[in-house]
Amino acid sequence: MGTVNAAARWLSWMAAVTALLLLPPRSQAHCDGLDGPVVKAARAALETGNLNHALIWVRKGDEPELREAFTRTLGVRKLSAESRALADSYFFETLVRIHRAGEGEPYTGLKPAGRDLGPAIPAADAALEKGSAGAVVELLTHAMHAAVSGPFEAARSKRGFRPDDVEAGRAYVEAYVRFLHSVERMHQATQGGASEHSEGH
C-alpha cells in the first residue's frame, strides 16, 4: 500500500514538475539557475539531510511549505534512481518558487547551468569568495563612466547654441535633460533605489 501511495505521489509530482518546466521563460535571475546559490543550497540540504541549508532562502512564514516538500522529497528519492532525480527536481523547483515569491517576483522555471549572466553577478559572487570588493568597484566605475559620459558629451557639444537659434536651443535642452536624468538614475542606484532581482532579475 505504501508503495502504491508513493508511486501516486511520484506521478503527481512528475506532472507538476513537467508543467513547471514547460512554463515560458519571462525573466532571467541568478537564483533561478541550476548552478545558482538557491539550488546549491537545496542540493546541500538533500545530501546532508539538514534543511537549514535551504531555509535561509525563504521567509519564516514559508517554512512549513518547504519542510513538507523536504520530507516528501527525502521519502521518494529512496525508491529508485529515477525517483531520486524527479524528487530532487521537485525540491529545487519548490525552493526556487518560494524564494522568488518572497521577493515578489514571478517563478518562471529553473534555468540551465552555465548561462551568460553578464559581468556584474559573477563579479559580485567572486568578490565574496575572495573577500574583496575591489574588482566589483572597478567594474561599476567603468560602467557608470560609460553610462554618464555619452549623455554628458551630447549635452556639452550642444551647449554653445546661439540665442536666436531656437531649434539648437531645444536640442540642447533635450540633451541636457537626458544627461541630468542619467546622473539622477545613477545616484539613485547607488543609494539602494535599484533591486537586484528586478532584471526581469
**Residue 18 above 60 pLDDT?**
no
Judge whether residue 139 has pLDDT over 80: yes
Q: Kindly tell me if the per-residue pLDDT of 187 is higher than 80.
A: yes
Give every CB contact of residue 176 below 8 A, 6+ residues apart in sequence. Answer: 155, 158, 159
The single residue listed with the C-alpha cell 512528475 is 14
User: Could you give the 3-state DSSP secondary structure of residue 187?
Assistant: helix
The Cα-based distances of 161 to 53, 143, 151, 178, 184 in angstroms read 62, 30, 17, 17, 25
Residues in the chain: 201
For 94-131, write each residue's pLDDT tens digit.
999 999 999 899 999 999 998 888 888 889 889 998 99
The model's pTM is 0.66
How far is residue 29's CA from residue 34's CA, in Å, rounded to a whole number? 11
pLDDT of amino acid 2? 52
Residue 128's identity, in one-letter code, is L
192 confidence band (pLDDT: 50, 70, 90): low
Distance CA 60, CA 149 (A): 45
- pLDDT at position 45 is 97
Q: Can you tell me the mean pLDDT for 14-41?
A: 60
- With a cut of 70, say whether residue 29 has pLDDT above it: no
- Cα torsion 105, 102, 21, 95 to 10°: value is 160
Across the chain, mean pLDDT equals 83
CA 156 vs CA 137, 141, 160, 174, 176: distances in Å = 27, 21, 8, 12, 8
Read off the pLDDT band of 1 (50, 70, 90).
Answer: low
What pLDDT, on the 0 to 100 scale, is given for residue 12? 41
Of 102, 100, 95, 96, give the one whose Cα is nearest residue 73.
Answer: 95
Angle formed by the axes of helices 166-190 and 134-157, nearest 10°: 170
Q: pLDDT for 66-76, tens place per residue?
A: 999 999 999 99
